[in-house]
Amino acid sequence: MPAASAIRTLIVDDQLTMRALIRTSLQQIGVRDIEEAPDGEAALRAVITKPVHLVISDFNMPNLDGLGLLRGIRAHPPIAKTAFIMLTGRADRELVQRAVQYGVNNYLVKPFTTQQLKEKMESVFGPLT
């Protein structure tokens, strides 16, 4: 069982509010090592420089959206296996399907509870301690 505290996580969202909310939820789950990026491009640069275990990313962002980020990560061998949870603002089947093609690990519809986030993370990493 992986320890939540060992999962280095990058939060990607153009909204400060959402980043703060996700960070708070992650902290409640027990994640300690949390980085933030305001858009896909910054996130891609960040994960290449300093790999993470998990990226939690919004879809709709300037510069590079969530799909672009996912695609960039999967296309770069050293980080291609980074776990990726996509946040979506609404039930967009097409978007989720596209994300699946690009290798998304899971997705989460906003608004979400800490418990929902934890479940999504556990579906990827297994039960967290």
Partner 1 sequence: MSDDPFEAIKATFFQECEELLGDLETNLIALESGDTDIETINACFRAVHSVKGGAGAFGLDDLVRFAHVFETLMDELRSGRKAVDEDVVQSLLRASDVLNDHVTAARGAGPAVDPDRSQALIAELETLTHGAPVSGTDADAAGDMDDDFGFTPVALSLDDFGAGEAMPLMDLPALDLPPLDLPSLDAPVVTGGEQTGWKIIFRPHPRLYANANETALLLRELGRLGPISVEMDDSGLPSLEALEPLDSHLVWTIHLDAPVAELDVRDVFDFVETDCDLSIMSVMAEGAGASVVSDSLPDLDDGLPSLDTGAAAEFDIAALVAMAQADTASRLGGGGETAPVAETPKSTAAPAPAAPPVAANNATAAAPAAASAATAPVTIRVELDRVDRLINAVGELVIQQAMLAQRVYESGLARSSDISLGLEDLELLTREIQDSVMAIRAQPVKSVFQRMPRLVREVAAMTGKKVKLVTAGEDTEVDKTVVERLSEPITHMLRNAIDHGLESPEEREAAGKPVEGTVKLAALHRSGRIVIEISDDGKGINRQRVRSIAEERGLVTPDQILSDDEVDNLIFLPGFSTAQEVTDVSGRGVGMDVVRRSIQSLGGRISISSNPGKGSIFTMSLPLTLAVLDGMVVGAADQTLVAPLAAIVESLTPKAEDIHLVGGVDPVLMFRDEFVPLVDVGQTMEFRNEPTELKGGVVMIVETEGGQRAGLLVDAIHGQRQVVIKSLETNYRHVEGVAAATILGDGRVALILDIDVLVNTGRRRTTSLAELKMAS
The DSSP line for 32-56 is --EEEESSHHHHHHHHHHS--SEEE
**Integer CA distances (angstroms), 28 to 34, 61, 63, 99, in order:** 12, 26, 30, 27
Min dist. Cβ of residue 13 to partner 1 (A): 9
**Minimal distance, residue 22 CB to partner 1, in Å:** 10
Least spacing, CB of residue 36 vs partner 1, in Å = 13
- Token reading at 18: 């959402």
Q: Whole-number minimum distance, CB 50 to partner 1, in Å?
A: 7
Q: Measured between alpha carbons, how far is 31 from 7 in angstroms, rounded to an integer?
A: 6
Strands 54-58 and 106-109: unpaired
Contacts with partner 1 by CB under 8 A lie at 2-3, 6-7, 14-18, 20-21, 24, 40-42, 44-45, 48-51, 53, 58, 60-65, 67-69, 71-72, 74-83, 88-91, 93-94, 96, 98, 100-107, 109-111, 120, 123-126
